[in-house]
Amino acid sequence: LGRSDSAIRDLMRPHVANRLPGMRIAVILCGEQADTNFLRELEETVQDAGGTVVSVTRVSDDWLPVHPEARARVADAFGLRPYASDEQLARVLAGAVARGNGKALKTAAESAAGLRLDGVYERPADAVLVITGSNTPDRLVRAEAGQTPERGILTALGTAGIRTVLAEPDGDESISTIPAFSRLVTASVDNIDMAAGRFSAVYALDGVDGRFGIKRAAERPIPDLTQTQ
């Protein structure tokens, strides 16, 4: 698989060159990710396309503090009242990442151990890649019920008109999380940990819509390489 992935990467590199010239890409990582080594290769692929991954925000399912005072501090950092719902807080979190509200994010992260920030949050992103995933059926059930951060995050980004791509690594198709949120996005990639998936993500971030990947919910393996947004 390693050699095959390398060959695909070399074959497709010319097709993504300058697809994302000067674009600032924010990554929001949700769900259960057993291995995130693919993030480094994702950053390299975005660079090959002329863009930059400016931030990687990790949001665990239990990112919000249980203690009321700590939770109130998180809500206050985003300008919300202490009794704001989990989904409301996920929405303002997504908006802060996309708009580059670093001050609010850093203040919130001081009280939210499940929120990890990496990168630059001082300027707006041109597009956002939301990475989801489940390792257990229980997590999928909670995602389908709207009890994980993705629904609020994707709803906020869609409402704001920010180009958003939903992705997940390859894995057990029976617990794929993408179908739970596919109505909230126009582009998704179900194998972001593979070279073909990363190149699909570049096209999707550039504005090409579709369900790309290798699972049953995918419409085609990769985008039409001649297609423009």
Whichever domain contains 127, its CATH number is 3.40.50
Question: Cα–Cα distances in Å, from 85 out to 3, 46, 75, 132, 172?
Answer: 47, 34, 9, 21, 31
Q: Estimate the crossing angle of helix 195-205 against helix 2-16, to 10 degrees.
A: 20
In a domain, 220, yes or no: no
Measure the CA–CA gap between 210 and 130, rounded to whole angstroms.
15
Contact 154, 120 (CB under 8 A): no
| Number of structural domains found in the chain | 1
The predicted structure's pLDDT at residue 212: 98
Contact 24, 125 (CB under 8 A): yes
- Taking the chain (229 residues) in runs of 10, the rounded mean pLDDT of each run is 70 88 98 85 96 98 97 98 97 98 98 97 98 95 97 98 98 95 97 96 98 96 78
The identity of residue 12, as a single letter, is M
Nearest-CA neighbor of 203 among 184, 215, 186, 179?
186
Q: Write out the chain in H/E/C secondary structure.
A: CHHHHHHHHHHHHHHHCCCCCCCEEEEEECCCCCCCCHHHHHHHHHHHCCCEEEEEEEECCCCCCCCHHHHHHHHHHCCCCCCCCHHHHHHHHHHHHHHCCHHHHHHHHHHCCCEEEEECCCCCCCEEEEECCCCCHHHHHHHHCCCCCHHHHHHHHHHCCCEEEEECCCCCHHHCCHHHHHHHCCEEECCCCCHHHHHHHHHHHCCCCEEECCCCCCCECCCCCCCCC
In a domain, 91, yes or no: no
For 69-105, what is each residue's pLDDT tens digit?
999 999 999 999 999 999 999 999 999 999 999 999 9
The predicted structure's pLDDT at residue 51: 98
In a domain, 72, yes or no: no
The predicted structure's pLDDT at residue 226: 74
In a domain, 226, yes or no: no
In a domain, 147, yes or no: yes
In a domain, 53, yes or no: yes
Q: What is the CA radius of gyration of the chain?
A: 17
Residue with structure tokens 């992705």? 167
Residue with structure tokens 């674009």? 23
The predicted structure's pLDDT at residue 227: 65
In a domain, 92, yes or no: no
Domain coverage including residue 196: 2-64+116-212
In a domain, 124, yes or no: yes
Contact 206, 212 (CB under 8 A): no
The predicted structure's pLDDT at residue 11: 80
